[in-house]
Amino acid sequence: MEGEPVNVNEFQELARQALPKMYYDFFSGGAEDQYTLKENVEAFRRITFRPRILVDVSRINLSTTVLGYKISAPIMVAPTGMHKLAHPEGEIATARAAAASNTIMVLSSVSSCTIEEVASSCNAIRFFQLYVHKNRDVAAQLVQRAERNGYKAIVLTVDAPMLGRREADIKNKMIAPPLPPLKNIEGIVSTEVDNDEGSILEGFAKGALDASLCWRDIGWLRSITNLPILIKGVLTREDAIKATEVGVAGIVVSNHGARQLDYTPATITVLEEVVHAVGGKVPVFLDGGVRRGTDVFKALALGAQAILIGRPVVYGLAAKGEYGVRKVIHMLKDERSPWHCLAVLV
């Protein structure tokens, strides 16, 4: 590619060139047939605007608030694991970019920098994403560390009772050195794989993803933290209603970037259903397939308070480190024409 990347897709191409195939496959891939992976993006493309004309849009303010925190635009950093596979500075570079962009970063449970390292590296507003471990004490420790280190919310991921089948990772085995350790859980949870077919992630998932997690456990989580809890992985009105009943502070419509259950709908296609069911009781967020500023706008128009980006951040990180992540966020902000602010969806 010639010159500087001008959009997220060009960052993806740069990341592909920069990374060993195994790592690029890990970041970019989805589960099984990757139907949902394609749909997450394609479904956005099928939505078009009804732009209205001759309205004064000379002043546009993209800022919004999330759980009371003001951010520069409704674009947050989704939790994605193992950033040191993308760049030696790992999540620290990502967090600094989030801080510079004046937005929120959600740190993954399976980060390659610790909760503490990320907290002390910058003043970004940080949320902590939790995978609930089979051993609840481990989960409780992670939550307490997040709380102690100034993270402002717990993002409970509920769509990973077990690891999705990502066939590229299985083929690549994802165990070749040098894989950075999963720092937050190093020494607490075994990531050993018991045969050479497995990946480090399968090793992690076996010990650490609790397939028995269910609704009553939200009560347990609420009992061990004062932080607000967002629930990530809601795709239906039924679950959205339940989530509001158990007292979460927000809902993230997500299919885990199509890495878990294949043939779930594209997130943008179920957003309205969830927003309608929630009826304004708590804010609704969305991730999955956001690649353009117009996608952000579409999600807002359909009722999201803000969106999160997963792969775009990793592609920026892989291609150009902290600067690349800043650039990706900036691009999405910049890809807003005044028209967008007026559009009415068909």
> Given candidates 83, 126, 292, 311, which one binds ligand FNR under the rule CB under 6 A?
311
Place of tokens 């999160």: 308
94 contacts ligand FNR (rule: CB under 6 A): no
Per-residue burial over 186-211, b = 16 or more CB atoms within 10 Å of its CB, e = otherwise: eeebebebeeeebbbbbbbbbbbbbe
Among 12, 36, 103, 108, binds ligand FNR (CB under 6 A): 108
| One residue of 257, 316, 321, 324 binding ligand FNR per CB under 6 A | 257
Verify whether residue 83 is a known catalytic residue: no
Q: Which stretch binds ligand FNR (CB under 6 A): 12-20, 281-289, 293-301, 319-327?
A: 281-289
As a residue count, the chain comes to 346
Which is catalytic among the residues 83, 87, 133, 256? 256
DSSP 247: T
- Residue span binding ligand FNR (CB under 6 A) among the ranges 10-18, 97-105, 250-258, 271-279: 250-258
**CA–CA distance, 9 with 15 (Å, rounded to integer):** 10
Mapped onto helix, strand or coil, the DSSP state of residue 33 is coil
Contact 76, 310 (CB under 8 A): no
Calculate the dihedral angle through the C-alpha atoms of 44, 45, 47, 49, rounding to the nearest 10 degrees: 120
Is there binding between residue 133 and ligand FNR (CB under 6 A)?
no
Identify the H or E element spanning 192. none
Q: Minimum distance between the CB of residue 69 and ligand FNR, rounded to whole angstroms?
A: 19
Number of residues that bind ligand FNR (CB under 6 A): 24
Annotated binding-site ranges for glyoxylate: 131, 166, 256, 259
Positions that interact with ligand FNR (CB under 6 A): 27, 40, 78-81, 108-110, 129, 157, 232, 254, 256-257, 259, 287-290, 309-311, 314
Q: List, by residue number, the catalytic residues.
A: 256
